Chains A and B, each alone.
Chain A
């Protein structure tokens, strides 16, 4: 497996966990008007730990390049998830 494959696979696996965390995030759901409560703290912590495993594997394999790309990619995925799952509204609030 090349470094690129390792980095991409690690990123995709973590992205699934991050997506699940975002979908079940209690505060995000509350602000979107969904009072169902979202994920329990224990489940969130487990999922957060699971999302770190692919990066840990990259680090343990000594693949520094894959680890850094995984870390940076996760940051972008997380931000994108937050933006994508932002509650829709009819008019713009905030600035610009």
Chain B
């Protein structure tokens, strides 16, 4: 690391005592790069065994990496915490301006400890931290408004990130998210509830500084190579044109789009909610994360009439992606696009993880259809697939929690099903709700084994789709090994905080070039060992907190509904999980080599 690179500076904030200080942690960043690697090390240091996820002992850790501010598409911030949703490892990534802002403020990581007695927000600038009163912002109806107020009140426009929670976070819904720059999210595993438990409404980070490079010529050459690949490759073009919503139609055509709580893998209304149709009828603007020329963020412009006031309209701008479309569209049987978009918008207003919210609503609908829950539990609300308005009301109730049922649903589908029944169709994996792919056994093995129980950890859907294309049979051992190899490499990418959409741009060779031109000396072998080491650490943390692969619940519904790379049975899944577990632990490659 170059002498004047501020990456090694870790900002510590104590919310209880309203103090902050900086520690230089050069070794930490030299050994583990940044992002996920530094994050899990800091979590090991900060989070005591058995910590209450909503207690002051649970830290908030935000980390960025060495390439941020230097190269395109190194644009993510990694959040580490103990998840109030699963009671285990919490890790969530967001883009927006968060990573560039934190790096430009002169920090590689922030560790936020303790809890404030009263609502506050933090302003993090180069060289100082302000603790500001947020009593007036607490309880505000809309997460959008909280963002607008801070945008006016604080300085640094164009150089800052405004991260905030909605009412869902304040009211400790276990899958509340943290919103950054309105349209990006630390979506999963309840990071927003951790903020709520600390009475931390928002963090505004800003800065504008220079970063040293080791070799100007090599730096510019590497930059241009990455920039060209990011703007001109076919893969990046598809993210640019239709965004992730491009997946909806192809996934549906092979029968892998979870529909009506995964009673089917095909949705007859898929054409209506496809990326193509949304772009043609609703796309209002495309925007980018800071330092990403790809601009995959797609905003729908939804014009809504006021029903009792003729010629009175409002236009809502809201972000859509494959996962929100799956969670509020096909999974709820909704092909009424304005209704689906309004539901997405309400979830955003409240500050919930859209995927978990959609899965919770889908389970509740099926449970009500089967008579497991009655209108008495739902306080008179009748949920039914394809009907948007009751879902919008249900989202509000998940946050306001008027009855025991909504209080249960606010803790996720695993928890609600454990109280009310219907566990066989509760779509949760390791306690986390299902992503939008039902492609075959590999995606489900991935959800179960992956450190975050996310489709982005090891991309099992991709293995399934390859098998469909080639007609090859999937074998549990091979699936486990391929998932593990992918998840290990992704530890490296997420330690560099490279957006995973650019994974093909950042080959190991390009990563090494980018690192060496900016003063970080690594070898491919060193990166490989680091990836294995980070994943091993994550598993160690998970096991310390009670995770057991053998005790993972396999939702029966995934075995019943045909999948493109199917059929498969529970024995397949169990065998793959067991293989994965022995392999992830057996590679005790230990210290990373540099």
A binds B: no
Give the interface of B toward A (CB within 8 A): none
